[in-house]
A and B are shown apart, each in its own frame.
Chain A
């Protein structure tokens, strides 16, 4: 029982876990938002054949458990294509695509929230399609999308805990290790939960401020 006590080194272990969780979360968020945005633009331009594929794939990703997606990517794809894949690669791929699916839906509704009349007016002014997208649609769609996006990202931060199941040493995995060593589940999981809670709150706070800043510029000032 000599090694069953908590040691100061456990704090470093927790910080490492938190680092892995945050790094993976930030990485997958950036990739996911980029892919989601790309899909929304492709969807907006009505490229033939793309729309149904995008909608079916994103719906499948949104409507199936992330754990199953992780298993499919981590165990399924290497066995099927005979390639090697590390847990981190599988986790990055899966969570990025999952975030992309949710981001796509939000960006799409953001784009669709822009009034048809504005686009007609911009056409009359002689703006071309990419100018309309960049100058008219993008700013308004962003302001519309930030709120729901923050909600999704807070959720995705919690979803990253699932990557511990395929062997990524994130915060939850560290919790598992400490739990098995100290046999004090109440303290260990309460601390892990608290760290996730604080991270989620911080994220929501930052998101709220960004949203407020963006909304200020589009607020209807009256005539």
Chain B
């Protein structure tokens, strides 16, 4: 109960932070999926230069700490004359970092579709768009839900790092509350439990979607 007494006056403020976290994650996942899809198609391209470029992007952004990437954009973009707020910078950085992971998921999803299936669809006279939306996508989605879900969960956890560039999302808001109340233990313990519950709920939701999409499969 002492935890609740510490947090209670600041619930509204923390909820604002939470809303910012959700907004950042939603925007970033949209950006990451767009960028990831583009990169995945570039990585399966016949042109070696295009393929190499896409591979280098994925490799680089998965092996450099997100904090370093974030600082690069946060301090670097104004140098280029691009003045965007800290929140926008955070979303851009999360999208670019997330895109590197999403491209892996999408690529491996597309690669699981058997070439014979596509040939069969062609022979049946389906158009290219139909083949993609009705044949390739459903099969690819089936295997991609879980890995895509873990990318999403990672993005939620990563969003806490935005607090280092003055974005007052959930962690940033909690930092302010901890500094105001002088009760850092209570505040951060609640925050940790909150994040853990949020991501656990997310992973349950992802499992449910996975089972729903795989309901006609005999196993898995």
> Which positions in A face B, CB cutoff 8 Å?
59-60, 63-69, 71-72, 75-77, 79-80, 154, 158-162, 164-165, 172, 175-176, 179, 185-186, 189-190, 192-193, 196-197, 200-201
Closest partner residue, chain A, to B60 (CB atom): A197
CB distance A161 to B65 under 8 Å?
yes
Chain A: minimal CB distance from B76 (Å)? 4
**B182 interface residue per 8 A CB criterion:** yes
> Which positions in B face A, CB cutoff 8 Å?
60, 63-69, 71-72, 75-76, 79, 153, 157-158, 160-161, 163-164, 171, 174-175, 178, 182-189, 191-193, 195-196, 199-200, 203
CB distance B66 to A65 under 8 Å?
no
Interface of A: prevailing SS: helix
CB distance B76 to A76 under 8 Å?
no
CB distance A161 to B189 under 8 Å?
no
Name 5 extra pairs, CB < 8 A, besides A71-B188, A158-B66, A179-B71.
Answer: A59-B200, A63-B203, A160-B65, A196-B64, A197-B64
Q: Which residues of A contact B153 (CB under 8 A)?
A: 63
Q: Which residues of B contact A68 (CB under 8 A)?
A: 160, 171, 174, 188, 191-192, 195
CB distance B75 to A189 under 8 Å?
yes
CB distance B79 to A162 under 8 Å?
no
17 contacts between A and B (CB under 8 A): A63-B157, A63-B195, A63-B199, A65-B158, A65-B160, A65-B195, A67-B163, A68-B188, A68-B192, A71-B184, A72-B192, A79-B183, A160-B65, A164-B67, A172-B71, A186-B72, A189-B76
Q: Which residues of B contact A79 (CB under 8 A)?
A: 182-185
CB distance A172 to B189 under 8 Å?
no
CB distance B63 to A154 under 8 Å?
yes
Interface of B: prevailing SS: helix
Closest partner residue, chain B, to A67 (CB atom): B160
Chain B: minimal CB distance from A181 (Å)? 12
Chain A: minimal CB distance from B93 (Å)? 12
> With A65-B161, A79-B182 in contact, is A193–B200 under 8 Å at CB?
no
Choose from B72, B76, B188, B196 the contact partner of A75 (Cβ within 8 Å): B188
| Candidate in B185, B186, B193 with the most chain A CB atoms within 10 angstroms | B185
Choose from B68, B79, B187 the contact partner of A196 (Cβ within 8 Å): B68
CB distance B171 to A67 under 8 Å?
yes
Q: Which residues of A contact B160 (CB under 8 A)?
A: 65, 67-68
CB distance A76 to B189 under 8 Å?
yes
CB distance B193 to A60 under 8 Å?
yes
Q: How far is the CA of A66 from the CA of B195 in the complex (A)?
A: 11
Among all A-B residue pairs, the 10 with the closest Cβ atoms: A185-B75, A76-B185, A161-B65, A65-B160, A75-B184, A80-B185, A189-B72, A72-B188, A158-B65, A200-B63
Q: Which residues of A contact B182 (CB under 8 A)?
A: 79
Q: How far is the CA of A193 from the CA of B171 in the complex (A)?
A: 25
CB distance B71 to A185 under 8 Å?
yes
Q: Which residues of A contact B163 (CB under 8 A)?
A: 67
